[in-house]
Amino acid sequence: MDYHSDRFEDFSLMVFKGENLIALLPGNKKGKTLFSHQGLSYGGLIVSKKIRTIDYIETFSTLLKWLNTKGVLEMRIKQLPFIYNKHLTQEFEYIMHDIDCKVVANNSYYVLDQLQQYKPNRNRLRGIKKGKDVMTLEDSGMDYFWEHVLTKNLCDKFGVMPVHTYQEIVLLQSKFPNQIKFYSAKEGGIIHAGALLFITDNVVHFQYSSGKENRDETGALDFLFDAIIRKYSEYKYISFGSSATDDTLKIDSGLAYWKESFGAYLIPQRTYAIKTNSIINLETYII
């Protein structure tokens, strides 16, 4: 997170049991609210696979008490989609049932699973076939894509810039070359579409993707997504991300259909506002 540390008042925390570090909470503070973390896509406790349920509950309880003594009245956590967990764990969702919290945002997050049975619908297949006739998949041209395709489209359609600058992405890619990959759909050396991927153990996530205005005529974006999905078919999940295009978090029906036409389904990504004076009584959970 060092590349944008000047934008946030860091308030990241470590939780110990005795001398053993058992949990991390990347966070930043604004006034009397702790956010986990506004510079990251997802939030919440990072815990060891070895942590027991009782330890998790006690960790969360201790965290709330400590924050309250420091004058932090509320903690906001943007839920980590379960597909990113390295093992089955939903203790956070379990605790949220019994403490003073509310869902302040509910985002639509689209995911493709069962990749070995992947089959796009007829509309996508037509675009893919069209693209295959003229396009090649390459891993070059990110600088051109960023300026002349992605930034242009975001400015023209939504009046916004990419969250990351090109320089920031280059810096991040230099630190994580195996986790951040770029691919383009080219015709005769000319880029028609591009996609930047964030890759974790379970998930290949489309962080940024866009195509030129003629993408429907050339099938460039359809071809690109299909080629990437097939290239990474050994992974558990392909993440298409949110289908909201602004802060209202309303589903963009056209964007949702495009993702669904590849076989993706919606899972919710909620943001919770949690009062730090919430009392977690272990006796409520354990007999």
Query: What sign does the dihedral 59-62-67-68 (CA atoms) show?
Result: positive
List CB contacts of 23: < 8 A, sequence separation 6 or more: 14, 15, 45, 46, 47, 48, 51, 59, 63
Contact criterion met (CB below 8 Å) for 4 and 168: yes
Helix (H, G, I), strand (E, B) or coil at 234: coil
Residue 245: per-residue pLDDT: 84
Q: What is the pTM of this model?
A: 0.91
Query: What pLDDT, on a 0 to 100 scale, did the predictor assign at position 51?
Result: 86
Residue from 75, 66, 68 nearest 95 by CA: 75
pLDDT averaged over the chain? Answer: 93
pLDDT range class, residue 233, cuts 50, 70, 90: very high
For the ranges 57-66, 92-101, 115-124, the lowest mean pLDDT is seen at: 92-101
From CA 126, how far away is CA 130, in angstroms rounded?
A: 6
Give the pLDDT of residue 199: 97
Q: Which domains does the chain have, with CATH numbers?
A: 2-106+270-285 (3.40.630.30), 114-235 (3.40.630.30)
Helix (H/G/I), strand (E/B), else coil: 44? coil
Supply the pLDDT for residue 108. Answer: 95
Give mean pLDDT, residues 133-154: 96
Task: Render pLDDT for 237-268 as a digit per residue (tens, 0 to 9).
Answer: 999 999 998 889 999 999 999 999 999 999 99
pLDDT at 158: 84
Closest CA to 48 of 81, 23, 12: 23
Residue owning tokens 């930043």: 28
- pLDDT greater than 90 at residue 200: yes
Q: Output the pLDDT for position 137.
A: 97
Tell me the pLDDT tens digit for each residue of 4-53.
778 889 999 999 999 999 999 999 999 999 999 888 888 889 998 888 99
Give pLDDT, residue 88: 81
Report d(CA 132, CA 277) in Å as an integer: 58
